[in-house]
Structure 1
Amino acid sequence: MIERVFAQKHKPLDFKFFQNRDDFIVEENPIKFSAKGNFIVAKIKKRDLGTWDLISKLSKQLNIYENEIGYAGLKDKNATTTQYISVPKKYSKELQKFKSKNIEILDTRLHNSKLNIGDLLGNHFKIRLHEVDESSLYKIEKVLKEISKFGLPNYFGYQRFGSDTKENLEKAKQLIYGDLVIKDKKISKMLISQYQSYFFNSWLAKRIKLSKEEFILMEGDVFKDYKKEKLFTPKTITKNITMSFSKKEIIPTGLLPGRKVFRAQSKARELEEKYDDLYIQEKGFRRDALVYPSNIEIKYFKENKQLTISFTLPKSSYATVLIENIANKNFKN
Structure 2
Amino acid sequence: MIGPDPVWRLTPALGAPLGRGRLRVTPEDFQVDEQLAFTPAGEGEHLMLQVCKRNANTDTVARHLARQAGVRAKNVGYCGMKDRHAVTTQWFSLPWPIKRDLPDPAAWSDPGQGIHIRQLDRHDRKLRRGAHAANRFRLVLRLETPLDPTAVAERLDQMRACGVPNGFGPQRFGWGGSNLERFEAQDRPTGIVLSAARSALFNHVLEQRITDGSWDQLIPGEWVCLSGSRSGFLAESVDETLLARLKAGDLHPSGPMPGRAGDGPAGEALAREQAWLAPASKWLEKLGVCGVDALRRPLRVIPQHLQWEQEDRDSLTLCFELPPGSFATSVVAECIETD
Q: TM-score, normalised by structure 2?
A: 0.87
Whole-angstrom distance in 2 between the partners of 1:191 and 1:73: 16
Whole-angstrom distance in 1 between the partners of 2:142 and 2:17: 18
- Aligned counterpart for 2:65 among listed residues 40, 49, 58: 58
| Contact 1:210-1:216 at 8 Å conserved across structures | no
Gaps of 5+ in 2: 1-5
Q: Please list the CA deviations of residues 47-71 of structure 1 after superposition, one character each: whole Å capped at 9, or x if unmatched.
A: 0011011111112232210111110
Deviation larger for 249-258 or 304-313: 304-313
Whole-angstrom distance in 1 between the partners of 2:81 and 2:247: 31
Counterpart residue type for residue 193 of structure 2 = L
Counterpart of 1:185?
A: none
Count of residues paired in the alignment: 318
Counterpart residue type for residue 125 of structure 1 = F
Q: Please list the CA deviations of residues 105-153 of structure 1 after superposition, one character each: whole Å capped at 9, or x if unmatched.
A: 1111222210010010010011111136554322222111101100110
| Cα distance change of structure 1 residues 235 and 11 upon mapping to structure 2, 3 Å threshold | closer
Counterpart of 1:286?
A: 296
| Cα distance change of structure 1 residues 204 and 144 upon mapping to structure 2, 3 Å threshold | same
Moved over 4 A (4+): 91-96
Counterpart of 1:104?
A: 116
After the TM superposition, which residues 1-333 of structure 1 pair with which residues of structure 2 at under 5 Å, given as runs?
Answer: 1-2=6-7, 3-10=9-16, 12-18=18-24, 20-33=26-39, 34-90=41-97, 93-94=102-103, 96=105, 97-101=107-111, 102-131=114-143, 135-165=147-177, 167-175=178-186, 180=187, 188-211=190-213, 215-226=216-227, 229-273=230-274, 274-275=276-277, 277-280=284-287, 281-302=291-312, 305-327=314-336, 329=337, 331=338
Whole-angstrom distance in 1 between the partners of 2:17 and 2:131: 38
Whole-angstrom distance in 2 between the partners of 1:226 and 1:142: 24
Whole-angstrom distance in 2 between the partners of 1:309 and 1:321: 12
| Cα distance change of structure 1 residues 266 and 174 upon mapping to structure 2, 3 Å threshold | farther
Deviation for aligned residue 1:88: 1.6
Deviation for aligned residue 1:260: 4.2
Counterpart residue type for residue 173 of structure 1 = E
Counterpart residue type for residue 129 of structure 2 = I
Deviation for aligned residue 1:23: 0.5
| Contact 2:301-2:326 at 8 Å conserved across structures | yes
| Cα distance change of structure 1 residues 244 and 46 upon mapping to structure 2, 3 Å threshold | same
User: Secondary structure of the equivalent of 1:311?
Assistant: strand
| Cα distance change of structure 1 residues 201 and 64 upon mapping to structure 2, 3 Å threshold | same
| Cα distance change of structure 1 residues 227 and 120 upon mapping to structure 2, 3 Å threshold | closer
Whole-angstrom distance in 1 between the partners of 2:334 and 2:224: 24
| Cα distance change of structure 1 residues 114 and 19 upon mapping to structure 2, 3 Å threshold | farther
User: Secondary structure of the equivalent of 1:141?
Assistant: helix
| Contact 1:156-1:201 at 8 Å conserved across structures | yes
Whole-angstrom distance in 2 between the partners of 1:228 and 1:15: 34
| Contact 2:22-2:144 at 8 Å conserved across structures | yes
User: Secondary structure of the equivalent of 2:182?
Assistant: helix
Whole-angstrom distance in 2 between the partners of 1:112 and 1:19: 40
User: Secondary structure of the equivalent of 1:15?
Assistant: strand
Deviation for aligned residue 1:24: 0.5
Counterpart residue type for residue 25 of structure 1 = Q
User: Secondary structure of the equivalent of 1:76?
Assistant: coil
| Cα distance change of structure 1 residues 181 and 250 upon mapping to structure 2, 3 Å threshold | closer
Identity over aligned residues, as a percent?
23
Gaps of 5+ in 1: 183-187
Q: TM-score, normalised by structure 1?
A: 0.88
User: Secondary structure of the equivalent of 1:127?
Assistant: strand
User: Secondary structure of the equivalent of 2:310?
Assistant: strand
